[in-house]
Structure 1
Amino acid sequence: MAPTPETLTAERILEATEEVLRRHGPAKATVVDVARALGVSHGSVYRHFRTKAALREAVIKRWLDRTTDELAVIVEDGTRDPETRLRDWLAALFEAKRRKAGDDPELFATYMVLAGENGTVVAGHVEELTGQLERIVEAGVSAGVFGGVAPAEAARVLFQATGRFHDPCYAGEWTLPSADGDFRAAVEFLLRALRVR
């Protein structure tokens, strides 16, 4: 009896696409390569993703969502006070981005290309991240820890002020010996600025 073929799902296609992109790079990877890796026709892939651009967009969104989902756990953790949540959230973002750049440099370079092609997806990711920051700042204002700030404005400033530690254009600096100390100093400076005086 022949083994039952695994059901083709969007998730399986995205996993295979990531592997194909890693192997061939963004310039040479095709939908046919993805279909071949899955043992299906390229038409089967197109039933899930109408175009190559839609497939590439879904891959970058999936990659960015991994970070957003990881950080959401910190935002929701009511056992940590808002200042600790903010410190932990910024540290987790820095670590997630550093890990992505360092663990698989070829895939990171590929995702940089895909991010450049999908500005709307990246803008949505940034909006989600600043929304998470806003919720932490709101919690701090409600608890009387942070004062004199509008949470949405503070979130944008926090995100922009820490860009060196999460914007991929700075990835080359993330392994410098001074990176961790610079990060801690920046976070402590920002926390002092937020605290009620």
Structure 2
Amino acid sequence: MTEALTPERILAATEDVLRRYGPAKATVVDVARALGVSHGSVYRHFRTKTALREAVTKRWLDHTTTLLEPLAAGPGPAARRMADWLTVLFHAKRRKAFDDPELFATYQVLVAEVSGVVAEHVAELVGQLTRIVEDGRAEGVFAPGPPDARTLARAVFQATYPFHKPSYAADWARPTAEADFTALRDLVVRGCQ
């Protein structure tokens, strides 16, 4: 008995194919071959190659969003949650870059192709930070606005780009990266208070 073809199985196979061949050479036929099905079977779940690439990129980005959600949702003091959220984000991105450099490089290419998926991911992350800022203001720990909570959250996210934006990945291997991150994280959190 063969395993049912599901979107999740297709996405996992697509990730393997992308790792093996890279985004320039990977095809839907390669994905179908890896699954032992026809390429038409893959197209029944993902109507185009672009749709498949968008879905696999979203899946990859969603791992980070899911990892961070418990920190955004609480409980605990908002200042500690923000510091922890930024720390988990940095370490998650750094693990992706160094534990699987081929796949990380592949996703660097894919995210440039599917900017809508990336914009949605960033909006979700800023939304998580916004909840932390709102909680911090409700606790009386973070200074009241202006700016509004979303604008402050976006500023925190942008200020910490060097420690989570993939274009900075080469810097994450520097011997001082962890200390530099901690200094910036602490400065940003204090700046919200």
Asked if these proteins are the same fold (TM beyond 0.5), I'd say yes
Pairing 1:72-83 to 2, within 5 Å after superposition: 72-78=69-75, 80-83=76-79
Q: For residues 83-109 of structure 1, give each alpha carbon's deviation from its aligned partner in whole angstroms, at most 9, with x where no partner exists.
A: 110000000000010000000101000
For structure 1, which runs of at least 5 residues remain unmatched after alignment? none
For residue 94 of structure 1, what is the aligned residue in structure 2?
90
Between the aligned residues of both structures, percent identity stands at: 61
2:59 to 59, 62, 71: 62
Question: What CA RMSD, in Å, does the superposition of the two structures yield over aligned residues?
Answer: 0.7
Runs of 4+ aligned structure 1 residues displaced above 3 Å come to none
2:137 to 114, 119, 141: 141
TM-score by length of 1: 0.95
Q: d(CA) in 2 for partners of 1:99 and 1:60?
A: 17
Q: d(CA) in 1 for partners of 2:61 and 2:23?
A: 17
Q: Could you say what secondary structure the match of 2:173 adopts?
A: coil
Q: Could you say what secondary structure the match of 2:26 adopts?
A: coil
Aligned pair 1:51/2:51, yes or no? no
Q: d(CA) in 2 for partners of 1:182 and 1:169?
A: 17
Q: What is the number of residues matched between the two proteins?
A: 191
- The letter of the residue matching 1:154 is L
For residue 112 of structure 2, what is the aligned residue in structure 1?
116
For residue 187 of structure 1, what is the aligned residue in structure 2?
185
Q: d(CA) in 2 for partners of 1:20 and 1:134?
A: 37
For residue 41 of structure 1, what is the aligned residue in structure 2?
38
Give the Å deviation of 1:77.
2.5
2:124 to 110, 113, 128: 128
Give the Å deviation of 1:178.
1.0
For structure 2, which runs of at least 5 residues remain unmatched after alignment? none
Aligned pair 1:162/2:160, yes or no? yes
For residue 171 of structure 2, what is the aligned residue in structure 1?
173
TM-score by length of 2: 0.97
Q: d(CA) in 2 for partners of 1:160 and 1:76?
A: 21
1:6 to 3, 14, 22: 3
Q: d(CA) in 2 for partners of 1:142 and 1:178?
A: 35
1:26 to 14, 23, 28: 23
Q: d(CA) in 2 for partners of 1:67 and 1:184?
A: 20
